[in-house]
Amino acid sequence: MKKTVTASEDGITLLTLLKGREKLSSRTIKSLKFREGGIKVNGEEVTVRRVLHAGDVVELAVEDRAADASETVIPRKLPIKMLYRDAQVTVCNKPPHMPTHPSHGHLDDTLANALAFLASVKGEPFVFRPVNRLDGDTSGIVLTANDRIAAGRLFTKMKNGEIKKTYIAVVCGTPEPMKGIVDAPIARADVGILMRTVSEEGRVARTEYNTVAVSKDGKHSLVVLRPLTGRTHQIRVHMAYIGCPLVGDFLYGERSELIDRHALHAARMTFPHPADGRSITVSAPLPDDFLSLCEKLIWSSDDE
């Protein structure tokens, strides 16, 4: 990353530029300080106390190197679709039944493995930096950062609620009212380490929803959801809490013979680009199993 110091920045320290103007986190700045050639001004390595002058060229070594690579991520050729990619960010449409990152029992079948394979084809080191994560059975948009500066900026944007996400779900029953906001704190449940529950002792959690279609018999609905906070299983927990669990959700509802996962898809995301702040919106089409479910439960009922 290169930046030329402007007249308005003349006389400030490098630290002020990086932290105040460029919005780099203390962690990112620290990592650059201890990296060989991490921070340079006019081609020379400097400390963050360096006073800058108009026309100075600041260089930050943000590119990944072999030593940075995620050695535990095994490259695997897996089917994923790119929705957007440039030097700073990669946005993928994750298929259902694919975990986002490796874990016990899923060491080589995740989105991280797929992206590691694409990097290996280009001979590039790979570091996995997901900005958002989806449950293995949730399909749709995953945003990842391609370097440490982009990651730091996007994580901050996510924390501040500047990254907007829209999901589509098929639920049991019909929400009442048909649109609104579920405002109910979420905590870890007493049973196991995976399950969450609504609890007064939990963290603030808010989900906006809008019912866009209802089956003729009223037993199922198609709902558009926008999480206003980012808690684990938030949408699944909140829909179950109002009596409308996701179809196929074995954890918070019941399994379904019509779909072998919970019916949730991350369909749309708008985020500020980490380099210049411009707004980028990406959309992911509904996967076949989700469309088939809608045809059987929602749309077919309307035609009867």
So which residues are the catalytic ones?
135
| Residue 24, both tokens | 């780099």
Amino acid letter for position 227:
P
DSSP per position, 92-152? EEEPTT--SS-BTTBSSSSHHHHHHHHHHHTT------BSS---TT-EEEEEEESSHHHHH
d(CA 179, CA 224): 9
d(CA 89, CA 269): 13
Q: Give the DSSP H/E element, type plus range, for residue 227.
A: strand 220-227
Q: What is the CA radius of gyration of the chain?
A: 22
Q: Could you tell me which residues are beta bridge partners of residue 272?
A: 279
Cβ distance 280 to 163 under 8 Å? no
Four-point Cα dihedral 209, 239, 169, 85, nearest 10 = 80
Q: Could you tell me which residues are beta bridge partners of residue 213?
A: 222
d(CA 82, CA 41): 36
Cβ distance 282 to 83 under 8 Å? yes
Q: Which residues have a Cβ under 8 Å from the Cβ of 13 and sit 6 or more positions away?
A: 48, 49, 50, 51, 52
